[in-house]
Amino acid sequence: MQDDASAMVEIQLSAFGTDIINQLLYPGEITKDAREKAVHSLFSPPSGPRQNSESLLVVAELDDSSGGGQSEVIAFAKWCLRRQDVSEGEWNVEAPVSPDMLGEGSNIEVYKWFHETLHRRTRMLVQGDAMLCE
Protein backbone atom coordinates (compact mmCIF):
# COMPACT_ATOMS: atom_id res chain seq x y z
CA MET A 1 0.00 0.00 0.00
CA GLN A 2 2.87 2.40 0.64
CA ASP A 3 3.78 2.01 -3.04
CA ASP A 4 0.46 3.72 -3.80
CA ALA A 5 0.96 6.57 -1.33
CA SER A 6 1.91 9.15 -3.96
CA ALA A 7 -1.21 8.34 -5.96
CA MET A 8 -3.28 8.64 -2.80
CA VAL A 9 -1.84 12.09 -2.05
CA GLU A 10 -2.61 13.19 -5.61
CA ILE A 11 -6.22 12.02 -5.10
CA GLN A 12 -6.39 13.96 -1.82
CA LEU A 13 -4.96 17.13 -3.36
CA SER A 14 -7.15 16.80 -6.46
CA ALA A 15 -10.25 16.45 -4.29
CA PHE A 16 -9.76 20.04 -3.19
CA GLY A 17 -8.49 21.10 -6.63
CA THR A 18 -8.59 24.85 -7.02
CA ASP A 19 -10.84 25.26 -3.98
CA ILE A 20 -10.07 28.37 -1.94
CA ILE A 21 -8.83 26.30 1.02
CA ASN A 22 -6.26 24.54 -1.17
CA GLN A 23 -5.17 27.89 -2.60
CA LEU A 24 -4.72 29.29 0.91
CA LEU A 25 -3.02 26.17 2.31
CA TYR A 26 -0.60 25.96 -0.61
CA PRO A 27 -0.10 29.45 -2.05
CA GLY A 28 1.66 29.30 -5.38
CA GLU A 29 2.09 25.58 -5.93
CA ILE A 30 2.22 22.46 -3.81
CA THR A 31 5.91 21.74 -3.33
CA LYS A 32 7.63 18.37 -3.50
CA ASP A 33 8.36 18.67 0.22
CA ALA A 34 4.67 19.26 1.02
CA ARG A 35 3.72 16.20 -1.06
CA GLU A 36 6.30 14.09 0.78
CA LYS A 37 4.96 15.26 4.15
CA ALA A 38 1.43 14.36 3.03
CA VAL A 39 2.62 10.85 2.10
CA HIS A 40 4.22 10.50 5.53
CA SER A 41 1.01 11.62 7.26
CA LEU A 42 -0.97 8.82 5.62
CA PHE A 43 1.00 6.21 7.54
CA SER A 44 1.79 8.07 10.76
CA PRO A 45 0.25 6.75 13.98
CA PRO A 46 -2.50 8.77 15.67
CA SER A 47 -1.26 11.54 17.96
CA GLY A 48 -2.69 14.28 20.16
CA PRO A 49 -6.37 13.72 20.92
CA ARG A 50 -6.35 10.66 18.63
CA GLN A 51 -3.49 8.86 20.40
CA ASN A 52 -5.85 6.26 21.93
CA SER A 53 -7.23 5.43 18.50
CA GLU A 54 -6.43 3.17 15.58
CA SER A 55 -5.91 4.45 12.05
CA LEU A 56 -7.71 2.55 9.32
CA LEU A 57 -6.64 3.20 5.75
CA VAL A 58 -8.98 1.80 3.10
CA VAL A 59 -7.99 1.91 -0.57
CA ALA A 60 -10.19 1.34 -3.62
CA GLU A 61 -8.42 0.08 -6.71
CA LEU A 62 -9.56 -0.43 -10.28
CA ASP A 63 -8.09 -3.55 -11.87
CA ASP A 64 -6.59 -3.35 -15.33
CA SER A 65 -9.09 -4.93 -17.74
CA SER A 66 -6.33 -5.99 -20.13
CA GLY A 67 -5.24 -8.73 -17.74
CA GLY A 68 -1.81 -7.21 -17.15
CA GLY A 69 -2.21 -7.48 -13.40
CA GLN A 70 -1.92 -3.74 -12.87
CA SER A 71 -4.40 -1.81 -10.77
CA GLU A 72 -4.94 1.88 -10.22
CA VAL A 73 -5.82 3.55 -6.94
CA ILE A 74 -9.04 5.49 -7.54
CA ALA A 75 -10.06 6.44 -3.99
CA PHE A 76 -9.08 6.06 -0.36
CA ALA A 77 -10.29 6.92 3.10
CA LYS A 78 -8.40 7.24 6.35
CA TRP A 79 -10.47 6.69 9.47
CA CYS A 80 -9.72 7.01 13.15
CA LEU A 81 -11.34 4.34 15.34
CA ARG A 82 -11.53 4.66 19.09
CA ARG A 83 -12.70 1.37 20.63
CA GLN A 84 -12.87 2.61 24.24
CA ASP A 85 -14.28 5.76 25.81
CA VAL A 86 -11.58 8.17 26.95
CA SER A 87 -11.50 10.86 29.64
CA GLU A 88 -11.99 14.54 28.85
CA GLY A 89 -8.31 15.15 29.58
CA GLU A 90 -7.50 12.86 26.64
CA TRP A 91 -10.00 14.12 24.05
CA ASN A 92 -10.42 17.80 24.91
CA VAL A 93 -7.02 18.92 23.63
CA GLU A 94 -5.87 20.65 20.47
CA ALA A 95 -4.29 18.55 17.77
CA PRO A 96 -0.58 19.35 17.47
CA VAL A 97 0.45 21.22 14.33
CA SER A 98 3.94 22.30 13.29
CA PRO A 99 5.48 23.61 10.06
CA ASP A 100 7.50 20.38 9.84
CA MET A 101 4.25 18.45 9.41
CA LEU A 102 3.20 20.37 6.28
CA GLY A 103 6.30 20.89 4.23
CA GLU A 104 7.89 23.84 2.52
CA GLY A 105 5.57 26.42 0.99
CA SER A 106 2.54 25.53 3.13
CA ASN A 107 0.64 28.17 5.07
CA ILE A 108 0.74 26.92 8.67
CA GLU A 109 -1.70 29.57 9.95
CA VAL A 110 -4.41 28.58 7.47
CA TYR A 111 -3.78 24.90 8.25
CA LYS A 112 -4.12 25.54 12.00
CA TRP A 113 -7.33 27.51 11.51
CA PHE A 114 -8.90 24.97 9.12
CA HIS A 115 -7.99 21.86 11.07
CA GLU A 116 -8.66 23.33 14.49
CA THR A 117 -12.16 24.26 13.26
CA LEU A 118 -12.69 20.63 12.20
CA HIS A 119 -11.20 19.22 15.43
CA ARG A 120 -13.22 21.63 17.61
CA ARG A 121 -16.42 20.38 15.93
CA THR A 122 -15.34 16.77 16.38
CA ARG A 123 -14.56 17.36 20.06
CA MET A 124 -17.99 18.93 20.56
CA LEU A 125 -19.89 16.11 18.83
CA VAL A 126 -17.84 13.03 19.65
CA GLN A 127 -16.27 14.00 22.96
CA GLY A 128 -14.68 10.90 24.51
CA ASP A 129 -17.10 8.30 23.21
CA ALA A 130 -15.83 5.15 21.59
CA MET A 131 -16.60 5.36 17.89
CA LEU A 132 -15.34 5.95 14.40
CA CYS A 133 -14.30 9.49 15.12
CA GLU A 134 -12.70 11.03 12.07
Number of structural domains in the chain: 1
Rg of the chain taking only CA atoms, in angstroms: 17
CB within 8 Å of 112: residues ≥ 6 apart: 97
Give the range of the structural domain holding residue 128, as residue numbers without chain letter: 2-132
Mean pLDDT value across residues 23-35: 89
Give tens-digit pLDDT for 75-125: 998 888 888 888 888 888 877 788 888 889 999 999 889 888 888 888 888
In Å, what is the CA distance from 7 to each residue of 20, 83, 106?
22, 30, 20
* pTM of the full structure: 0.74
